[in-house]
Structure 1
């Protein structure tokens, strides 16, 4: 910006999880993703074979979940690895945004899985096929154990990270799929009623779609440079004009997020006559941080007040 540009002290465009978050927090999330990927990928083959042999759509649907989950977990892991790279002159904010893109892709993939399962379920209901309940039960129990372990690992590391949350949702879908497969296999063993298999597959799909939509909506909001949660530009502008001494007008208020943990804001202010630009900037930054929780705030003095700006505030 111009001479009135002021980032303030302590801000960095590098790929940090948040201003004060330790690096080992990022590493722990990355490690959790890797463990979940190993667990999911390791059992996926067994579930595919079991689903094909037993003829169970619930198992094949769960295996389909696991296949996309494995790919999604690898993508999430790569996002963390890529985010380690430092910012450069081309990408001044670093590579953190890739994790949001990974969350968006993972969320969309859940919808693709849901459509496939719904189509398969309708076909199975129209043309029921034999299902080997015993084999289906043992494979489903094994899948449940694996999914519980993977979900436990991810839930411990989730926090507010969209990338980890999207991965956890994939695993939760698998977990619910395994539960549905167990219930379906027991019903088939006891009653021989095979339609329970596709019916429970559809139930699982409906349970995970709501959460999938939440991830897609939130990650899409970040990718579209939407304001961070709780940031109201109109309210902040009015508050600054009413509460900060020396601010005549606050305008051009913009806020966005690099990732869910890295919100940022910029704004322009008109100074009252005789106001000290440097003092007012500090007060504005502190007030915006107090109101919104955004700790990276850039304040610009309007052109008409540039002559009153001090050399200390120039960037």
Structure 2
């Protein structure tokens, strides 16, 4: 299946505008929730404000990362600063896990030392927070969030807030109608558990990218087999290294080929294949005419040569 991913600045500008709008909305309502939480004595509101504080920082980091990612490559940073977006996502995930632990700790303390909660005020602030989060989430969800780990990180934070606001509304309703204040810490713990799951996934994905893991959608062995099957002159593919910088996959590989009439034309076909089937724009291909007999080639030699013989 052929996809074309364009890395235009229009997408970055749109992402920046959405991130900025979400940042302003989140920052304003974070202040509102802190004040509301302190006045009403609600931990669920303060938990949500805690999430919103991390969100505000997350959105600020996301904004800075988008800004830095547009800088041109230099002799010191030959890929530019594209990795900053991944680093921002990684820091966001850790921050989320830390704040969730703090809320969890405070909630347990509230069970043993219950405090009065003003349900009506709590309800008003929670509904306002929910509306603010809905607007922010809608803005970020319209961004290129499937591809951009950083915008997705910001969207996950806001989703956590959205759930936090729903939790605070439910806790406020229980307190208003029954006066049962433990509803407040219970709901704050439930919200925290939902956020932990999202944060853990984000942490795993961003760490995988920072440790030069290959993109999730790309299987290096399969790529070697498919390339061997698709281009008759290709006898074997080995020394394949794939990693990701920002949203862009990068590859280096050795290709054993039948000595071609036109070296450049064959090289161009290999590049075109990588671009069309795997959206790889940056590939370094070393073409070889001799058989590769080193230990790490033997395994790929046997599999790709079998595929090649079946193909013909």
Query: What TM-score bracket applies, with the shorter chain setting the length?
Result: 0.7 to 0.9
RMSD: 1.9
Distance 1:133 1:58 in 2: 11
**Larger CA deviation: 215-224 vs 68-77:** 215-224
2:55–2:157 contact (8 Å) kept in structure 1:
yes
Q: Give the distance between the partners of 2:59 and 2:230, measured in 1 at CA.
A: 47
What residue is the counterpart of 1:111 in the other structure? 97
TM-score of the superposition, structure 1-length normalised? Answer: 0.86
Compared CA separation, residues 28 and 132, structure 1 to 2 (3 A): same
Deviation for aligned residue 1:265: 1.2
Alignment pair present for 1:126 and 2:139 = no
1:25-44 → structure 2 map (5 Å cutoff): 25-44=11-30
1:284-295 map, 5 Å:
284-295=270-281
Secondary structure, counterpart of 1:131 in structure 2: coil
Structure 1: runs of 5 or more not aligned: 1-17, 306-315
| Residues 246 and 276 in structure 1, CA contact (< 8 A), matched pair in contact too | no
Instruction: Give the equivalent residue in structure 1 for 2:40.
Output: 54
Q: Please tell me whether the aligned partners of residues 71 and 80 of structure 2 are also in contact (alpha carbons under 8 angstroms).
A: yes
Structure 2 gap segments, 5+ residues each: 292-312
Pairing partner for 2:237 from 250, 253, 257: 250
User: Are 1:59 and 1:178, in contact at CA under 8 Å, matched by a contact in 2?
Assistant: yes
2:142 aligns to what SS in structure 1? helix
Q: Pairwise mapping of residues 131-146 of structure 1 onto structure 2 (< 5 A)?
A: 131-146=117-132
Give the deviation of 1:37 after TM superposition: 0.8
SS in 2 for 1:219: helix
Deviations 1:158-191 (A, max 9, x none): 3421111110111111111111111101100100
Matched, 1:208 2:182: no
CA contact (8 A) 1:236 1:291 kept: no
Q: Does 1:64 align with 2:57?
A: no
Answering whether residue 48 of structure 2 is matched by residue 45 of structure 1, we say: no
Q: Find out whether 1:282 has 2:268 as its counterpart.
A: yes
Query: Could you tell me how far apart the structure 2 residues matched to 1:46 and 1:141 are?
Result: 12
Alignment of 1:69-218 (within 5 A): 69-157=55-143, 158-218=145-205
- CA shift digits 1:178-210 (9 cap, x unpaired): 111111011001001111111111111111222
Question: Is this contact kept in 1: 2:40–2:117, CA < 8 A?
Answer: yes
Following the alignment from structure 1 to structure 2, what is the Cα–Cα distance between the partners of residues 233 and 262? Answer: 15
Q: In structure 2, the residue corresponding to 1:164 is in which secondary structure?
A: helix
TM-score with structure 2 setting the length = 0.87
Q: Give aligned pairs, total.
A: 287
- Tell me how far apart the structure 1 counterparts of residues 120 and 30 of structure 2 sit (CA, whole Å): 19
Give, in whole Å, the separation in 2 of the partners of 1:243 and 1:144.
Answer: 53
SS in 1 for 2:175: helix
